[in-house]
Amino acid sequence: MKVAVLDDWQRIAAQCTDWSALAARAEITFFHDSLKDEAQLAERLAPFDILLTLRERTRFPASLTARLPRLRLLNVTGMRNLSVDVAALEARGVVVCRTESGEGGESTSELALCLMLTAARRVAAGDASVRAGTFQSGIAPGISLKGRTLGLIGLGRLGRMVAGYAAALGMRVIAWSPHLTAERAAEAGVAYASKEELLRTADVVSLHLVLAPQTRGIIGAAELALMKPGAILVNTSRSPLVDTPALIARLNEGTLLAGLDVYDEEPLPAGHPLLSAPNVVLSPHLGYCVEENFEVFYRQSVENALAFLDGAPVRLMPASAGMPVAA
């Protein structure tokens, strides 16, 4: 029996839990890189019976899983994974399991706050300047967030957390989402605003929406043009919510700042225009990457694999939590 642990980019999976019980029953291979080419990925994964994946780093459409004849169990971390065609796997008799998380979304919400502050105070540029020996030379002044307006696109669990952090900083908080009402916003202690009003008035715009057909590209060139000069866009949700080329254009113009944790392609490839864009803080998708999550992710991944080998799978993932049928 062969087990592959995929996308261990930070090389921490082996130390996050005790693998000995699984290692006694199967050969385990840890992969620390990602393959984007489906043919190469199929060739790599074809020898494995069990795949333990990490979030949505590797996509598993039906076209890929059809090329994995030995696959018997695919395990995902987290409760949802829109990169996996669960229905196609189940049709082939492959068991799909999932794990819980180790925290309630605080890690991503805290990172949104971190990116907001880092962009507002030009911390990344200052760090680079200190290392280059130029100290404050050429560093533009930052802004204080007290008294500024935070616009939340999305006011779910994570958006509400960020609203609380912003209130502690003395910020005014407004919110909009496709289905948000003034009453629901008031319940969260924030003011409702139309999408246009939010974009025109907010000093910081932070995205907290689930990626869906109706939210893809919800911040495009027209929306970015509404944002006032010097405003900050923070995205810790999903990259396709934003028109990346349009954002890069605004960054290069010097009219917007940004703090980004998510990208259209991950890892971000060499030569990508974001890497040379000014006025942007780039974080390597660290939103959920905290010890509390990894401990649960990998402990339950091992538990799921052992339960499967015992003939009694646990934490089965419903097809509705995977890739949309239309994808």
| Residue 54 parent element (H or E) | none
Is-contact 65 42, C-beta < 8 A?
no
The phi and psi torsions of 250 (rounded to 5 degrees) equal -65, -35
Catalytic residue among 56, 208, 285, 303: 285
CA gap 196, 6 in Å, rounded: 42
Question: Does 272 participate in catalysis according to the annotation?
Answer: no
Catalytic residue among 122, 238, 250, 303: 238
**Euclidean distance between the first and final Cα of the chain, in Å?**
32
- Please choose, from the candidates 49, 102, 101, the residue with its C-alpha nearest in 3D space to the C-alpha of residue 74: 49
CA gap 244, 250 in Å, rounded: 10
Question: Does 285 participate in catalysis according to the annotation?
Answer: yes
Catalytic residue among 90, 103, 266, 292: 266
Q: What share of the chain is helix, strand, coil (3-state, %, to 5)?
A: 35, 15, 45
Question: Does 299 participate in catalysis according to the annotation?
Answer: no
Write down the residue that tokens 């049928």 correspond to.
Answer: 325
- Please choose, from the candidates 103, 263, 159, 94, the residue with its C-alpha nearest in 3D space to the C-alpha of residue 84: 94
Catalytic sites, residue numbers: 238, 266, 285
